[in-house]
Amino acid sequence: MMREESKISSPLLQFFFFLLFFSVSCVNGEDPYRFLTWKVTYGNIWPLGVKQQGILINGQFPGPRIDCVTNENLIISVYNYLSEPFLISWNGLQQRRNSWQDGVYGTNCPIPPGKNFTYMLQVKDQIGSYFYFPSLAFHKAAGGFGGIAIWSRPKIPVPFPPPAGDFTFLLVTGTREATGS
Ligand SMILES: *[C@@H]1O[C@H](CO)[C@@H](O)[C@H](O)[C@H]1NC(C)=O
């Protein structure tokens, strides 16, 4: 009986360990995905205290902040409801081997009016504060921009205590017609 119990090296058991090892390495294979859907519309904004037509993302000005974690894949479906082409650039994101997703005219086609496009980005090995903005015409003066916060992975410690609060500041300069007052 003792001899029966010590048969650890049976082929079946080896196969089982192989399967276990194989499945664990598969699970670690891919970084997580984050899916966002953005609807780009015109709307009223008051950036300089005076009402003007602006560009909203999901009804917001500034647009929604992207909160993500290092190495995540961002799948951002953008629907252009403007009457003109629209293109978003991702300021500070490194876009490794991915330059055609960077929303710069010439490498990335603008989204035609009434159409949609899905950006696929990975925030590989980055942490910190970044922002996105429309890169065509003077759209960035009218909105369509927002913050990007890339958080450190929980298992990678950062050398400071957790902040008490977290705010995104977007400084926008602009001009408006003189009103004479
Ligand atoms: C545009 O949106 C449709 C409907 O949601 C979707 O099936 C299609 O894949 C999208 N196209 C692109 C290029 O993102």
Q: Residue 77 — pLDDT band, cuts 50, 70, 90?
A: very high
Q: Give the total number of structural domains in the chain.
A: 1
* Within a domain: 86: yes
* Within a domain: 120: yes
* Within a domain: 92: yes
Query: Using an 8 Å Cβ cutoff, are 87 and 108 in contact?
Result: yes
* Within a domain: 135: yes
* Within a domain: 180: no
CB atoms within 10 A of CB 34: 15
From the CA of 96, how far away is ligand 1's center (Å)?
24
Supply the pTM of this predicted model: 0.79
5 pLDDT higher than 70: no
Containing domain of residue 87, as a range? Answer: 33-151
* Within a domain: 79: yes
Tell me the per-residue pLDDT of 86-131, one tens digit each, with 9 for 90 and over: 999 999 999 988 888 999 998 899 999 999 999 999 999 999 999 9
Which of ligand 1's atoms lies nearest the C-alpha of 115? 1
Q: Report residues whose beta carbon is within 6 angstroms of any ligand 1 atom.
A: 77, 116-118
Q: Which of 116, 119, 121 best tests ligand 1's pocket when mutated (most atoms within 8 Å of CB)? A: 116
> In CATH, what number is assigned to the domain containing residue 128?
2.60.40.420
From the CA of 160, how far away is ligand 1's center (Å)?
42
* Within a domain: 49: yes
